[in-house]
Amino acid sequence: MTIRTEFPCQIIEHEDMGIVMPDGCRLSARVWLPVDAEARPVPAVLEYIPYRKRDGTLPRDEMMHPYVAGHGYACVRVDMRGNGDSEGLMTDEYTQAEMDDAVAVIDWLSRQRWCSGAVGMMGKSWGGFNCLQAAFNQPPALKAVVSVCSTTDRFADDIHFKGGCLLGENFGWGAVMLSFSSRPPDPVLRPDWREMWLERLEHEPWLAPRWAALQERGEYWKHGSVGEDYARMQTPVLIWGGWADNYMNTVAHLVENVPAPCKGIVGPWVHQYPHTAVPGPQIGFLQVALRWWDRWLKGIANGAEDDPAYRVWMMDSAAPDASARHRPGHWVAEAEWPSPRVTREAWTLMPGRAGAASHGSLGQGETAGFAMPIATPQHLGLQAGEFFPMGLNAEMPGDQREDDAMSVCFDGDPLVEGMDLLGAARVTLRLSSDRPLGFVVARLCDVGPDGASVRIAHGMLNLCHRDSMERPAPMVPGEAVTVAFDLDQMAYRVAPGHHLRLALSNSYWPFVWPSPEAGVVTVTGGSLHLPVHAGSEPEWVPPPAEHAAPWNNRVIRPGKTRRFVERDLIRGLYAMVVEDDLGDAENLTHGLCSGETMSERWEIDPADPLSARAVHVWEQRLSRGDWSVRTRAEAEMTGAADELRMKAVLRAWEGDRLVFERNWDDRVARRFV
């Protein structure tokens, strides 16, 4: 990693530039731009998110935005309405008001004396979503976007539902936003910070139950899903993803469907920007982004539109490691996507050679009759990892052997020559269920000669959504149906001597919230269609990772993280426990001290899905001199046979005095989950 401190352009910074929306709401922007931009206007690059530019994303902002500005751009980091130092209130994610504000900000930027009139947009996660949403809304000044870790479908491929299954992260992210949005503006920038803060707290939404209640793919989820009409995507898109993240599908979807110039890059990374993400190798994200901006915002003929359509890090077989610092592999560059180098290969699910009740074989032979019941323990899934891992704290999938042992598995023969896989595998199953509600999870694993099992990709289907995501319907107990669903995109080279395993379960805790009854899904046939790549050698050498100088800070109290599985031998419960203390630090530039602590507990009885319980606690701390504030968000989720219950309490202190407290207790009908 190279730190750059000198750039072609000398830059200046504005720490709080006001951008007033049509309704009078003032948004706060931090802006870096060349010193001579008013005399020689430059394109603007916007990052627009709710995560607080003054403290929350400041460490990464300072590594990226001065770097880009130093190459002749105005970089503009805006706090969304109701967050950080911006006025107003936030009511939900990706609202029409949020999108309208983005369009208004882009228009405002294009009309500034220091802007050439061309605007680009960049962002990761929430910021990556609104890049795509802004492109969908087609503001005239928006000329290109760079989106990282985002989605085209808010129902099928986000933190709320996957394959129609209710994700544990739906509750988890609701708790995160309850905490994140509870913090006040910085008093240095806003003398009226206290009034703004109390109004913000008074209107704080508890979003997890709202999201969980929307159990079909209706208008709420279609809003903001750019896959609803790819023809509207007329703005050039550079889209990034990571194989250790759960937004890896977006890249292939956009490259295949967007009519504007669109290029995709997927590395081995977690939910972080590629110049700092693990597992390595990190690459020069900022240089590649600048190439994109130079082409579409400055009109420089650098050939960016002729770059390969789809560049991916094809990972080699490696030992399972939930905290992998590096994944061996090589870069594959596909000139077009779908690729003519990928063919579909059908493998058949067959009974085991010894007739084992939970172990079949996977191969290219003739279909043979069998009946394998899937009735997996409720605690299966403790090695699934996080929906979006952030780093090296055992957040990635671990060794799958323990979960495999509780699953119904179909194993292939050891591969003599190995196999390259690129794309999405598809599973087709003939099955019946003895309960109206239930789901199936499929994991494709790489099993080494020593028995170690690495999850290559996974997919899942809520059986109520077998025919339609928009119009789900409960299963008819005992009635046989054929279902099909895709696993996540992958790029993986299975080593010679290893074999593939398809593991099926009807539990996946805490990744998926359990069904209300511990049912039995009986599989009587099926197939696995694999995207087999013709093979390749290294085909792309990206620039090395580099960034601007990191933020100037002093560690007041170092952080520490623990992550462990707990087994209660008396009550029979299993629990995944996460304790993440980020410590406290002082920003030596403007003096704000900030800190954050969180804990998660996901517990369940292997025999009782209604025992599932999640408890999350988040604390945020801000101080400067004699001034200090603190907020604490506590959330709990449980389930009964006919409803889900989500409770929360939010408290805020000014110094040692409690100034705000609010409780929520919401119940959500279980219609399809």
Between CA 90 and CA 82 the distance in angstroms is 5
**C-alpha of 226 from chain center:** 16
Summarize the confidence of residues 42-54 as an average pLDDT: 97
Between CA 369 and CA 72 the distance in angstroms is 66
For 122-132, what is each residue's pLDDT tens digit? Answer: 999 999 999 99
The torsion region of residue 322 among left (phi > 0), alpha (psi -120 to 50) and beta comes to: alpha
Q: How many helices (H) and strands (E) does the chain have?
A: 10, 32
For 540-586, what is each residue's pLDDT tens digit? Answer: 999 999 999 999 999 999 999 999 999 999 999 999 999 999 999 99
Summarize the confidence of residues 280-302 as an average pLDDT: 98
To the nearest whole number, what is the mean pLDDT of the chain?
97
- Phi, psi (rounded to 5 degrees) for 222: -70, -30
Helix (H) or strand (E) holding 554: strand 553-557
**Percent of the chain scored above 90 by pLDDT?**
97
Residue owning tokens 């650098």: 302
Residue 286: C-alpha distances to residues 68, 71, 76, 541 (Å): 7, 11, 15, 15
> In the CATH hierarchy, which top-level class contains the domain 10-153+221-316+327-334?
alpha beta
For 8-27, what is each residue's pLDDT tens digit? Answer: 999 999 999 999 999 999 99
Is this model's pTM higher than 0.85 or not? yes
Band of the pLDDT at 358, cuts 50, 70, 90?
confident
Between CA 571 and CA 642 the distance in angstroms is 24
Q: Which two tokens stand for residue 250?
A: 């977006």
Between CA 13 and CA 499 the distance in angstroms is 55
Say if residues 260 and 236 touch (Cβ distance below 8 Å): yes
Whether 290 shows a pLDDT value over 70: the answer reads: yes
pLDDT, greater one: 366 or 112: 112
Classified as helix, coil or strand, 379 is: coil
User: Which of the four CATH numbers 1.10.10.10, 2.40.30.10, 2.60.120.260, 1.10.340.30 does domain 342-533 have?
Assistant: 2.60.120.260
Q: Which two tokens stand for residue 482?
A: 């054929």
Say if residues 608 and 79 touch (Cβ distance below 8 Å): no
Summarize the confidence of residues 596-622 as an average pLDDT: 98
Summarize the confidence of residues 476-486 as an average pLDDT: 98
In the chain the first and final C-alpha atoms are separated, in Å, by 45
Whether 339 shows a pLDDT value over 70: the answer reads: yes
- Phi, psi (rounded to 5 degrees) for 337: -140, 130
Other CB atoms within 10 A of residue 284 CB: 18
- pLDDT score recorded for residue 357: 55
Summarize the confidence of residues 425-443 as an average pLDDT: 98
Between CA 232 and CA 420 the distance in angstroms is 34
For 360-405, what is each residue's pLDDT tens digit? Answer: 899 887 766 899 999 999 999 999 999 999 999 999 999 999 999 9
- pLDDT score recorded for residue 337: 98
Q: Which of 147, 46, 44, 158 has the alpha carbon at shortest distance from 102?
A: 46
Beta-carbon contacts of 113 under 8 Å, excluding residues fewer than 6 positions away, are 38, 41
Angle at 244 between CA 242 and CA 247, to 5 degrees: 55
- State the helix-helix crossing angle for 126-137 and 96-110, rounded to 10 degrees: 70
Whether 600 shows a pLDDT value over 50: the answer reads: yes
Ranges assigned E (strand) in 342-473: 342-350, 359-363, 372-374, 408-411, 419-433, 439-447, 453-462
Summarize the confidence of residues 335-343 as an average pLDDT: 98
Say if residues 460 and 439 touch (Cβ distance below 8 Å): yes
Summarize the confidence of residues 491-513 as an average pLDDT: 98
Residue 224: C-alpha distances to residues 90, 166, 175, 227 (Å): 16, 19, 22, 9
**Percent of the chain scored above 70 by pLDDT?**
99
Band of the pLDDT at 533, cuts 50, 70, 90?
very high
Summarize the confidence of residues 498-508 as an average pLDDT: 98
Residue owning tokens 């999870």: 441
Band of the pLDDT at 355, cuts 50, 70, 90?
very low
DSSP state of 217: -
- pLDDT score recorded for residue 81: 97
Summarize the confidence of residues 592-604 as an average pLDDT: 98
